[in-house]
Amino acid sequence: MDDEELARNLLQNFIGRLPHLEVAGQCKDPLEAMALLQDNNIDLVFLDIQMPGLTGVEFLRSMKITPLVIFTTAYPEYALEGYSLDVVDYLLKPFSFERFVQAVNKATARLHANRPSETTPPTTHVQEPTKDHILVKADYKLHRIKLEDIQYIESMREYVAYHTPNGRLLSLQSLKSLEEELPADRFIRIHKSYIVPIDKIEALEGNMVHIGKEKLPVGASYREALMERVFRKG
């Protein structure tokens, strides 16, 4: 909820880049937001603080039951008060897509932590199927990439490049958020700009790993974990 149309459009653009988020609605004032929250089951709200009629802080205090909230504001002096209201995060305008993703990851983690006791009977354990693919937004399409087809993943500023036998696929996202999404038993980060599948690492030569015909650099801060997980004897 934000009274600035430009700010709302930017948020909608950022949300559209993440396949697990869906926009339920845009509101320019608290009255619109109240109606939307009453009529819909909403998990997460992006809430501006300075709005006409009622501030975001006042709006939040007026709600008996609230979804998770991320504040978006140009006023840093409200940060302490925001956290006292148990908001998930505090995005100070103008914020980058990477900072937006960090806030969403926090909200997703809290949402998942809150749900098991509500949705899963304590005596029942459901085994989730092993993940064998990843969904990637690129070229205005949602691509389904098999994990076994990924040769390596490269960070290119705000983009991430997936290198596969069929070529390179560019997606607007951060390597950090992707690292949290990929199965840790199959992928390892070897550099600030590279994530690689463990089973495709063929050799270590100095500070370079061999993956097929490619030689990729190993960052100093990632070398110890690489040696322990991939090249440890015994």
pTM of this structure = 0.47
Which residues does residue 153 pair with via DSSP β-bridges, in sequence order? 162, 195
Side-chain-facing half-sphere of 183: CA atoms under 13 Å: 15
Question: Per-block average pLDDT, block size 10, for the chain (234 residues)?
Answer: 68 87 83 81 85 74 78 72 73 86 90 60 45 86 93 92 94 88 92 96 95 95 92 73
Provide the pLDDT for residue 121: 45
Residue 68, CA distances (Å) to 45, 55, 74 in order = 6, 17, 20
86: left (phi over 0), alpha (psi -120 to 50) or beta: left
* 5-33 per-position pLDDT tens digit: 777 788 888 888 888 888 888 887 777 88
